[in-house]
Chains A and B, each alone.
Chain A
Amino acid sequence: MNIFRLFGDLSHLAAIAILLLKIWKTRSCAGVSGKTQLLFAVCFITRYIDLFLHFVSLYNTEKVMKLIYISASVFTCYLIFFKFKATYDGNHDSMRAEFLIVPAAGLACLINTKFDAIEILWTFSIYLEAVAILPQLFLISKTGEAETITSHYLFAQGSYRALYILNWIYRYHYESHVDTIAIVAGVVQTILYCDFFYLYITKVVKGQKIVLPA
């Protein structure tokens, strides 16, 4: 474990917590893409499938973190699609998730480190996570604005994988550890946030709201 990965995971936890708090406190999921949250839930379940396959003694933090990620993302989907369904902005959350899931699944079968079920699921989860934020960014571009709290969520969510890139550089240099698939997907994922990062740093930090077109 290194500082970059630690802060990356903390940033990821913060993102999940910010979104849950936003929905719970405002009792509304306006401005939140339910499809993105569904895709994240799929990512966690397919990536941490080993938790279900053989019983895990919750002795180490990694197992606990995996359970937190899975339960929090499923609970967020429950809030969006059931509890606060009336506030779900289905008209603007219109990006076809199939256009993300099918290519990720296809690519996972073509480019992977080992052709076995668990590894393919893990690879699918990595590829899907890289594009899972697209419906959320698409929704913001359709509504033309993002609530400040949602911007903080996106900043934390985007920072997590950006910090992981620093973690991979660190591990390459000090542990000569390389996980090419995760690195390439992580770079693509972070690049998708660049436009938002620019808006966040030039606007939200100054207390303004993000309104598109910028």
Chain B
Amino acid sequence: PHASKKHDEL
């Protein structure tokens, strides 16, 4: 799994 670059959650 890759750590998400952009936070796409509220």
Contacts and interface: CB of A to CB of B under 8 A. Distances in A.
Interface of A: 5, 9, 12, 62, 65-66, 69, 113, 122, 164, 167, 172, 176-180, 182
B10 A177 contact: no
Interface of B: 1-4, 7, 9-10
B8 to A, nearest CB: 8
B2 A179 contact: no
B9 A180 contact: no
Contact of B4 (A66, A69, A177): A177
A167 to B, nearest CB: 8
A182 B7 contact: yes
Contacts of B1: 172, 176-178
B3 to A, nearest CB: 6
Dominant SS among interface residues on chain B: loop
A39 B9 CA distance: 19
Contacts of A176: 1-2
Given A113-B3, A172-B1, A179 B10 contact: no
A49 to B, nearest CB: 12
A66 B10 contact: yes
Contacts of A65: 10
A9 B9 CA distance: 10
A15 to B, nearest CB: 13
Contacts of B7: 122, 179, 182
A69 B2 contact: no
A5 B7 CA distance: 14
B2 to A, nearest CB: 7
A178 B10 contact: no
The listed residue with most B CB atoms (<10 A of its CB), out of A65, A164, A179, A182, is A179
